[in-house]
């Protein structure tokens, strides 16, 4: 009965080391079962085992011809991806663990330990494991330390000082990208584009990826620009992730460009100054919160205050809060009505632009104009009534005579 082509996963299986033919043949069976090439078998077995015996034994135990050709010339073929570098690191650690064993036993132990470690997710067969162990023995493959996570990983001698290709860091970044894709597909598809008006919605503050992504979702729902997202989110959230999330939630591309250079664009009219004053008062109220939470609280409070009559979106609210934080926007007191209103640093002593006084004057003017229009309308209606009443008696007096003349004729 043929032996199976797949070796057992027990990394402690006995491997004979006696130089006799029987032991050599048992080792040949073991190597053929593992799928070793004839060139590798030639290096590990004594000359008593011929090449024809190798090929026949390999065909008998695996059901296929022995693989031919040479092993790779460079270890780069085994380090081309983060997963390969991680598996190669496992092989090198096992090779170091079994370094005291003879070569023919050491390679078998390393391969069986590698299979026991990764299970069905193995990517290196026995020939690649042998090649990596030989490269480590001759000094062309080393274990170097990552500068980021301080994990040792496999690197060739040409890049022994380059620790930027750490497989652990690379796979963590890939996991973050996969988590983003899963969150987009499962959690964000039915997110509303319009945020709730309540200013007490909980916002996570943890520095982990999940909380950072939830904060990204919240800011994209509010319509934040990528430049603002970059200032409020950690570096783990990439710009591509921001744009994709914004497009997924709002159904449109993320707005580009910079914020205004001057606060004058937000203070041009009394209504704008009044709304900016509301934003600054809310900014003062939520000043104890972290920045990423404070801006969201201010904007939600602003929406709850003005309702459907809002004129500032989240980006303008963020701009006004930032201008207030760096001293370019202040709350000054009107000398007439003693109301505090928003004014920029250039006109901090000019209190003539009070939005309350301006709106009151405008309301008074509108009321005066309405009164004048109402008075003119009443005068016109009264005049028309007098004319109608003046004509009415004559029409009533002549009407019976006309009817009598028609009746007599």
Which H, E and C letters describe 333-397, residue by residue?
ECCCCCCEEEEEHHHCCCCCCCHHHHHHHHHHHHHHHHHHHHHHHHHHHHHHHHHHHHHHHHHHH
d(CA 295, CA 293): 6
Average pLDDT over residues 202-222: 75
**For 165, phi and psi rounded to 5 degrees?**
-100, 40
Angle at CA of residue 306, ends 226 and 257, nearest 5°:
20
Split into its structural domains, the chain has a count of 3
pLDDT at 351 over 80: no
Q: Is 150 left (phi over 0), alpha (psi -120 to 50) or beta?
A: left
Q: Domain end: 250, 278, 295, which one?
A: 250
If asked whether residues 187 and 111 sit together in one domain, one would say no
Residues 220 and 242: beta-carbon distance below 8 Å? yes
- Could you tell me if 59 and 146 lie in one domain? yes
Cα distance from N-terminal residue to C-terminal residue, the chain: 141
Q: Does residue 392 form part of some domain?
A: no
Q: How many residues does the chain have?
A: 409
| 227 in the same domain as 155 | no
Cβ–Cβ under 8 Å, residues 249 and 217: yes
Q: DSSP string covering 136-164, please?
A: HHHTSEEEEE-TTT--EEEEEGGGTT--T
Round to whole Å and give the CA distance between 164 and 146.
7
The whole-number pLDDT of residue 4 equals 42
374/351: higher pLDDT = 374
Query: Do residues 112 and 231 share a domain?
Result: no
Nearest-angstrom CA–CA distance, 48 and 66: 19
Q: Is residue 149 part of a domain?
A: yes
Cα-only R_g, the chain: 42
The fraction of the chain above a pLDDT of 90, given in percent, is: 3
pLDDT at 36 over 70: yes
pLDDT tens column, 230-277: 888 888 888 888 888 888 888 888 888 777 778 888 888 888 888 888
Overall average pLDDT of the 327-355 stretch: 74
**Token pair for residue 20?**
């006799």
In a domain, 211, yes or no: yes
The string of pLDDT tens digits covering residues 87-145 is: 888 888 888 888 888 888 888 888 888 888 888 888 888 888 888 888 888 888 888 88
pLDDT for 176: 56
- Full domain range(s) for residue 127: 21-159
Is residue 155 exposed (0-12), middle (13-18) or buried (19+ Cβ within 10 Å)?
buried
Q: Tell me how crowded residue 284 is: count the other CB atoms within 10 A of its CB.
A: 11
Other beta carbons less than 10 A from residue 323's beta carbon: 24
Burial of 68 (0-12, 13-18, 19+ CB in 10 A): exposed
| SS3 state of residue 313 | coil
Domain boundary among the residues 356, 381, 398 is at 356
Within a domain: 166: no
Band the pLDDT of 177: cuts 50, 70, 90.
low
What pLDDT is recorded for position 296? Answer: 92
pLDDT level of residue 18 (50, 70, 90 thresholds): very low
| Higher-confidence position of 363 and 333 | 333
Q: How confident is the model at residue 299 (pLDDT cuts 50, 70, 90)?
A: very high
- On whether the CB atoms of residues 191 and 221 are closer than 8 A, the answer is yes
**Nearest C-alpha neighbor of 301 from the set 315, 286, 316, 288:** 286
């Amino acid at each position: 009965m043929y032996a199976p082509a797949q070796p057992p996963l027990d990394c402690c299986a006995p491997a004979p080391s006696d130089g006799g033919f029987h032991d050599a043949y048992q080792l040949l069976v073991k190597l053929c079962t593992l799928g070793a090439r004839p060139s590798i078998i030639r290096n590990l077995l004594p000359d008593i085992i011929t090449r024809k015996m190798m090929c026949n034994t390999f065909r008998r135990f695996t059901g296929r011809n022995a693989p031919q050709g040479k092993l790779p010339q460079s270890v780069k073929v085994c380090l081309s991806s983060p997963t390969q570098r991680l598996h190669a690191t496992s092989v090198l650690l096992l090779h170091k663990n079994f370094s005291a064993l003879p070569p023919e036993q050491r390679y078998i132990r390393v391969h069986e330990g590698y299979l026991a470690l990764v299970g069905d997710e193995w990517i290196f067969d026995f020939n690649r494991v042998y090649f990596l162990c030989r490269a480590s023995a001759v000094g062309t493959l080393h274990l170097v330390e990552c500068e980021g996570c301080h994990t040792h990983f496999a690197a060739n001698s040409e890049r022994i000082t380059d620790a930027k290709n750490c497989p652990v860091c690379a796979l963590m970044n890939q996991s973050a990208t996969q988590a983003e894709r899963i969150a987009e597909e499962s959690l964000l598809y039915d997110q509303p584009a319009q945020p709730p008006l309540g200013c007490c919605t909980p916002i996570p503050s943890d520095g982990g990826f999940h909380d950072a992504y939830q904060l990204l979702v919240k800011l994209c729902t509010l319509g934040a620009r990528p430049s603002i997202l970059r200032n409020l989110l950690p570096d783990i959230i990439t710009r591509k992730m921001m744009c994709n999330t914004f497009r997924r939630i709002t159904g449109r591309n993320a707005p580009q460009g910079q914020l205004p250079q001057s606060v004058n664009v937000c203070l041009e009219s009394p209504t704008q100054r009044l709304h900016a004053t509301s934003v600054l008062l809310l900014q003062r109220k939520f000043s104890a919160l972290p920045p990423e939470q404070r801006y969201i609280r201010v904007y939600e409070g602003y929406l709850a205050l003005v309702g459907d009559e809002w004129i500032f979106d989240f980006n303008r609210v963020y701009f006004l809060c930032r201008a207030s934080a760096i001293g370019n926007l202040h709350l000054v007191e009107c000398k007439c009505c003693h109301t505090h209103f928003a004014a920029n640093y250039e006109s901090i002593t000019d209190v003539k632009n009070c939005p309350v006084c301006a709106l009151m004057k405008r309301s008074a003017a509108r009321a005066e104009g309405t009164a004048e229009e109402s008075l003119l309308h009443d005068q016109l209606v009264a005049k028309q009534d007098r004319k109608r009443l003046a004509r009415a008696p004559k029409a009533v007096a002549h009407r019976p005579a006309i009817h009598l003349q028609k009746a007599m004729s």
